[in-house]
Structure 1
Protein backbone atom coordinates (compact mmCIF):
# COMPACT_ATOMS: atom_id res chain seq x y z
CA UNK A 1 0.00 0.00 0.00
CA UNK A 2 1.34 3.38 -0.93
CA UNK A 3 1.72 6.25 1.50
CA UNK A 4 -1.11 8.19 -0.16
CA UNK A 5 -3.45 5.20 0.34
CA UNK A 6 -2.66 5.16 4.05
CA UNK A 7 -3.39 8.89 4.32
CA UNK A 8 -6.73 8.42 2.53
CA UNK A 9 -7.67 5.51 4.82
CA UNK A 10 -6.78 7.48 7.96
CA UNK A 11 -8.71 10.48 6.63
CA UNK A 12 -11.81 8.38 5.97
CA UNK A 13 -11.66 6.83 9.45
CA UNK A 14 -11.20 10.27 11.01
CA UNK A 15 -14.16 11.64 9.05
CA UNK A 16 -16.39 8.75 10.17
CA UNK A 17 -15.40 9.27 13.82
CA UNK A 18 -16.04 13.03 13.66
CA UNK A 19 -19.43 12.48 11.99
CA UNK A 20 -20.38 9.82 14.54
CA UNK A 21 -19.59 12.05 17.54
CA UNK A 22 -21.24 15.05 15.86
CA UNK A 23 -24.43 13.08 15.26
CA UNK A 24 -24.37 11.72 18.82
CA UNK A 25 -24.03 15.22 20.25
CA UNK A 26 -26.85 16.63 18.11
CA UNK A 27 -29.14 13.74 19.01
CA UNK A 28 -28.28 14.00 22.73
CA UNK A 29 -27.60 17.68 23.20
CA UNK A 30 -27.77 18.94 26.78
CA UNK A 31 -31.00 20.55 27.91
CA UNK A 32 -30.69 24.31 28.24
CA UNK A 33 -32.16 25.78 31.43
CA UNK A 34 -33.92 22.70 32.79
CA UNK A 35 -36.38 23.21 35.63
CA UNK A 36 -34.97 20.20 37.49
CA UNK A 37 -31.65 18.37 37.56
CA UNK A 38 -30.07 15.57 39.54
CA UNK A 39 -26.73 13.80 39.53
CA UNK A 40 -26.40 10.74 41.72
CA UNK A 41 -23.42 8.43 42.21
CA UNK A 42 -24.33 4.91 43.28
CA UNK A 43 -22.43 2.64 45.65
CA UNK A 44 -21.18 0.77 42.58
CA UNK A 45 -19.53 3.93 41.23
CA UNK A 46 -22.00 4.49 38.37
CA UNK A 47 -23.18 8.06 37.92
CA UNK A 48 -26.64 8.90 36.58
CA UNK A 49 -27.78 12.35 35.56
CA UNK A 50 -31.25 13.56 34.68
CA UNK A 51 -32.62 16.92 33.57
CA UNK A 52 -36.32 17.67 33.31
CA UNK A 53 -38.27 20.38 31.52
CA UNK A 54 -41.51 20.87 33.42
CA UNK A 55 -44.48 22.92 32.25
CA UNK A 56 -47.71 23.28 34.21
CA UNK A 57 -46.49 20.70 36.76
CA UNK A 58 -46.07 18.08 34.01
CA UNK A 59 -42.78 16.61 32.73
CA UNK A 60 -42.53 17.84 29.17
CA UNK A 61 -39.03 16.69 28.24
CA UNK A 62 -36.25 14.58 29.73
CA UNK A 63 -32.52 14.25 29.19
CA UNK A 64 -30.46 11.62 30.92
CA UNK A 65 -27.05 10.00 30.94
CA UNK A 66 -25.14 7.31 32.76
CA UNK A 67 -21.49 6.39 32.75
CA UNK A 68 -22.31 2.87 33.90
CA UNK A 69 -22.91 -0.44 32.18
CA UNK A 70 -25.61 -1.07 29.58
CA UNK A 71 -28.09 -2.15 32.27
CA UNK A 72 -27.49 1.10 34.12
CA UNK A 73 -28.13 3.03 30.91
CA UNK A 74 -31.31 1.07 30.21
CA UNK A 75 -32.61 1.76 33.72
CA UNK A 76 -32.12 5.53 33.55
CA UNK A 77 -33.71 5.56 30.08
CA UNK A 78 -36.70 3.61 31.45
CA UNK A 79 -37.07 6.05 34.36
CA UNK A 80 -37.04 8.97 31.93
CA UNK A 81 -39.62 7.27 29.70
CA UNK A 82 -41.86 6.62 32.69
CA UNK A 83 -41.68 10.29 33.75
CA UNK A 84 -42.38 11.72 30.30
CA UNK A 85 -45.79 13.44 30.19
CA UNK A 86 -46.64 12.73 33.82
CA UNK A 87 -47.54 15.19 36.58
CA UNK A 88 -45.19 15.75 39.51
CA UNK A 89 -47.42 13.65 41.78
CA UNK A 90 -47.48 10.80 39.24
CA UNK A 91 -43.70 10.89 38.92
CA UNK A 92 -43.31 10.73 42.71
CA UNK A 93 -45.03 7.33 42.60
CA UNK A 94 -42.52 5.84 40.13
CA UNK A 95 -40.26 3.29 41.82
CA UNK A 96 -37.63 0.74 40.89
CA UNK A 97 -40.26 -1.93 40.24
CA UNK A 98 -41.74 0.24 37.47
CA UNK A 99 -38.26 0.59 35.99
CA UNK A 100 -37.76 -3.19 36.14
CA UNK A 101 -41.12 -3.70 34.42
CA UNK A 102 -39.81 -1.67 31.46
CA UNK A 103 -36.26 -3.08 31.38
CA UNK A 104 -37.21 -6.68 32.16
CA UNK A 105 -35.91 -9.05 34.78
CA UNK A 106 -32.55 -8.00 36.12
CA UNK A 107 -29.96 -10.24 37.70
CA UNK A 108 -29.65 -9.73 41.46
CA UNK A 109 -26.24 -8.19 40.90
CA UNK A 110 -27.83 -5.34 38.89
CA UNK A 111 -30.96 -4.52 40.88
CA UNK A 112 -29.07 -1.51 42.23
CA UNK A 113 -29.18 -0.01 38.70
CA UNK A 114 -32.98 0.26 38.87
CA UNK A 115 -32.72 1.67 42.39
CA UNK A 116 -30.18 4.27 41.23
CA UNK A 117 -32.45 5.28 38.33
CA UNK A 118 -35.37 5.71 40.73
CA UNK A 119 -33.22 7.74 43.12
CA UNK A 120 -31.97 9.99 40.33
CA UNK A 121 -35.49 10.64 39.06
CA UNK A 122 -36.79 11.38 42.56
CA UNK A 123 -33.86 13.72 43.28
CA UNK A 124 -34.68 15.63 40.09
CA UNK A 125 -38.31 15.98 41.20
CA UNK A 126 -37.09 17.06 44.64
CA UNK A 127 -34.91 19.70 42.98
CA UNK A 128 -37.95 21.04 41.10
CA UNK A 129 -40.12 21.13 44.25
CA UNK A 130 -37.37 22.88 46.21
CA UNK A 131 -36.96 25.52 43.49
CA UNK A 132 -40.74 26.11 43.44
CA UNK A 133 -40.75 26.64 47.21
CA UNK A 134 -37.95 29.21 46.94
CA UNK A 135 -39.85 31.09 44.25
CA UNK A 136 -43.03 31.25 46.38
Structure 2
Protein backbone atom coordinates (compact mmCIF):
# COMPACT_ATOMS: atom_id res chain seq x y z
CA UNK A 1 0.00 0.00 0.00
CA UNK A 2 1.30 3.48 -0.83
CA UNK A 3 1.67 6.40 1.55
CA UNK A 4 -1.87 7.57 0.78
CA UNK A 5 -3.29 4.28 2.06
CA UNK A 6 -4.71 3.39 -1.38
CA UNK A 7 -3.70 0.09 -2.93
CA UNK A 8 -4.21 0.67 -6.66
CA UNK A 9 -5.03 -2.92 -7.57
CA UNK A 10 -7.26 -3.54 -4.56
CA UNK A 11 -8.95 -0.17 -4.96
CA UNK A 12 -10.21 -0.74 -8.50
CA UNK A 13 -12.74 -3.09 -10.04
CA UNK A 14 -11.57 -5.86 -12.34
CA UNK A 15 -13.42 -4.17 -15.20
CA UNK A 16 -11.57 -0.89 -14.64
CA UNK A 17 -8.23 -2.70 -14.46
CA UNK A 18 -8.96 -4.62 -17.67
CA UNK A 19 -9.93 -1.46 -19.54
CA UNK A 20 -6.95 0.49 -18.16
CA UNK A 21 -4.36 -2.13 -19.11
CA UNK A 22 -5.86 -3.77 -22.23
CA UNK A 23 -3.90 -2.72 -25.33
CA UNK A 24 -5.26 -4.79 -28.24
CA UNK A 25 -7.52 -1.96 -29.48
CA UNK A 26 -4.78 0.68 -29.41
CA UNK A 27 -3.86 1.15 -33.04
CA UNK A 28 -4.24 3.63 -35.84
CA UNK A 29 -6.21 2.30 -38.79
CA UNK A 30 -5.45 3.58 -42.27
CA UNK A 31 -8.59 4.71 -44.10
CA UNK A 32 -11.16 4.03 -41.38
CA UNK A 33 -14.84 4.26 -42.24
CA UNK A 34 -15.16 6.91 -39.54
CA UNK A 35 -12.76 8.96 -37.43
CA UNK A 36 -13.03 11.31 -34.47
CA UNK A 37 -10.42 13.15 -32.43
CA UNK A 38 -10.76 15.33 -29.37
CA UNK A 39 -8.31 16.97 -26.99
CA UNK A 40 -9.44 17.83 -23.48
CA UNK A 41 -8.58 20.82 -21.34
CA UNK A 42 -6.21 18.53 -19.40
CA UNK A 43 -4.16 18.05 -22.58
CA UNK A 44 -5.12 14.39 -23.13
CA UNK A 45 -6.17 13.40 -26.66
CA UNK A 46 -8.39 10.52 -27.79
CA UNK A 47 -8.79 9.37 -31.41
CA UNK A 48 -11.32 6.75 -32.53
CA UNK A 49 -11.14 4.71 -35.76
CA UNK A 50 -14.34 2.85 -36.73
CA UNK A 51 -14.89 0.11 -39.28
CA UNK A 52 -18.51 -0.37 -40.36
CA UNK A 53 -20.25 -3.26 -42.07
CA UNK A 54 -23.88 -2.70 -43.08
CA UNK A 55 -24.45 -0.07 -40.37
CA UNK A 56 -22.85 -2.29 -37.71
CA UNK A 57 -19.69 -1.17 -35.96
CA UNK A 58 -17.52 -4.19 -36.70
CA UNK A 59 -14.23 -2.87 -35.32
CA UNK A 60 -13.22 -0.06 -33.00
CA UNK A 61 -9.67 1.01 -32.39
CA UNK A 62 -8.30 4.07 -30.71
CA UNK A 63 -5.16 5.95 -29.90
CA UNK A 64 -4.59 8.16 -26.90
CA UNK A 65 -2.04 10.62 -25.68
CA UNK A 66 -2.98 10.69 -22.05
CA UNK A 67 -3.27 9.03 -18.69
CA UNK A 68 -4.38 5.56 -17.62
CA UNK A 69 -7.88 6.83 -16.81
CA UNK A 70 -8.25 8.20 -20.34
CA UNK A 71 -7.12 4.82 -21.69
CA UNK A 72 -9.68 3.04 -19.50
CA UNK A 73 -12.45 5.34 -20.74
CA UNK A 74 -11.51 5.03 -24.43
CA UNK A 75 -11.28 1.25 -24.12
CA UNK A 76 -14.62 1.09 -22.30
CA UNK A 77 -16.29 3.19 -25.00
CA UNK A 78 -14.90 0.84 -27.65
CA UNK A 79 -16.12 -2.18 -25.68
CA UNK A 80 -19.61 -0.70 -25.37
CA UNK A 81 -20.11 0.01 -29.10
CA UNK A 82 -18.25 -2.76 -30.94
CA UNK A 83 -20.74 -5.03 -32.69
CA UNK A 84 -23.60 -2.58 -32.19
CA UNK A 85 -25.70 -0.79 -34.77
CA UNK A 86 -24.42 2.68 -35.59
CA UNK A 87 -27.67 4.27 -34.40
CA UNK A 88 -27.39 2.56 -30.99
CA UNK A 89 -23.82 3.72 -30.36
CA UNK A 90 -25.15 7.19 -29.53
CA UNK A 91 -26.51 5.70 -26.29
CA UNK A 92 -23.02 5.76 -24.74
CA UNK A 93 -22.70 8.68 -22.32
CA UNK A 94 -20.00 9.76 -19.87
CA UNK A 95 -22.29 8.63 -17.05
CA UNK A 96 -22.68 5.16 -18.58
CA UNK A 97 -18.91 4.89 -18.99
CA UNK A 98 -18.41 5.80 -15.33
CA UNK A 99 -20.93 3.15 -14.25
CA UNK A 100 -19.37 0.59 -16.62
CA UNK A 101 -15.88 1.14 -15.20
CA UNK A 102 -17.20 1.01 -11.60
CA UNK A 103 -14.16 2.66 -9.97
CA UNK A 104 -13.11 5.57 -12.19
CA UNK A 105 -11.90 8.20 -9.70
CA UNK A 106 -14.25 11.23 -9.49
CA UNK A 107 -11.38 13.60 -10.29
CA UNK A 108 -11.05 11.73 -13.62
CA UNK A 109 -14.69 11.92 -14.75
CA UNK A 110 -13.51 14.42 -17.36
CA UNK A 111 -11.71 11.47 -19.03
CA UNK A 112 -15.11 9.86 -19.66
CA UNK A 113 -16.37 13.12 -21.16
CA UNK A 114 -13.28 13.31 -23.38
CA UNK A 115 -13.65 9.72 -24.63
CA UNK A 116 -17.36 10.12 -25.36
CA UNK A 117 -16.72 13.44 -27.11
CA UNK A 118 -14.19 11.80 -29.44
CA UNK A 119 -16.59 8.89 -29.97
CA UNK A 120 -19.42 11.25 -30.92
CA UNK A 121 -17.13 12.94 -33.46
CA UNK A 122 -16.40 9.52 -35.02
CA UNK A 123 -20.11 8.65 -35.05
CA UNK A 124 -20.91 12.02 -36.65
CA UNK A 125 -18.28 11.32 -39.31
CA UNK A 126 -19.89 7.92 -39.99
CA UNK A 127 -23.35 9.46 -40.36
CA UNK A 128 -22.03 12.24 -42.62
CA UNK A 129 -20.27 9.74 -44.89
CA UNK A 130 -23.32 7.47 -44.98
CA UNK A 131 -25.56 10.36 -46.02
CA UNK A 132 -23.15 11.43 -48.75
CA UNK A 133 -23.31 7.91 -50.26
CA UNK A 134 -27.11 7.69 -50.23
CA UNK A 135 -28.94 8.69 -53.41
CA UNK A 136 -30.66 12.03 -53.23
CA UNK A 137 -34.30 11.99 -52.28
CA UNK A 138 -34.85 14.22 -55.29
CA UNK A 139 -33.59 11.60 -57.75
CA UNK A 140 -36.34 9.89 -59.72
CA UNK A 141 -35.53 7.09 -62.17
CA UNK A 142 -31.93 8.21 -62.35
CA UNK A 143 -32.79 11.85 -63.14
CA UNK A 144 -32.54 14.75 -60.79
CA UNK A 145 -35.66 16.82 -60.32
CA UNK A 146 -35.17 20.51 -60.95
CA UNK A 147 -34.78 22.56 -57.81
CA UNK A 148 -37.44 25.15 -57.15
Q: 1:27 to 1:45 in 2, by over 3 A?
A: closer
1:90-109 to 2 correspondences below 5 Å = 90-109=88-107
Which gives a bigger RCO, structure 1 or 2 (Cα 8 Å, sep 6+)?
2
1:121 to 105, 108, 119: 119
Unaligned runs of 5+ in 2: 1-23, 135-148
Q: 1:122 to 1:28 in 2, by over 3 A?
A: closer
Higher helix share: 1
Count of residues in Structure 1 that have an aligned counterpart in Structure 2: 111
Which residue in 1 is equivalent to 2:47?
49
Q: 1:27 to 1:97 in 2, by over 3 A?
A: closer
Which residue in 2 is equivalent to 1:130?
128
Task: Give the aligned CA root-mean-square deviation in angstroms.
Answer: 1.7
Unaligned runs of 5+ in 1: 1-25
Which residue in 2 is equivalent to 1:38?
36
CA offset at residue 135 of structure 1?
Answer: 2.0
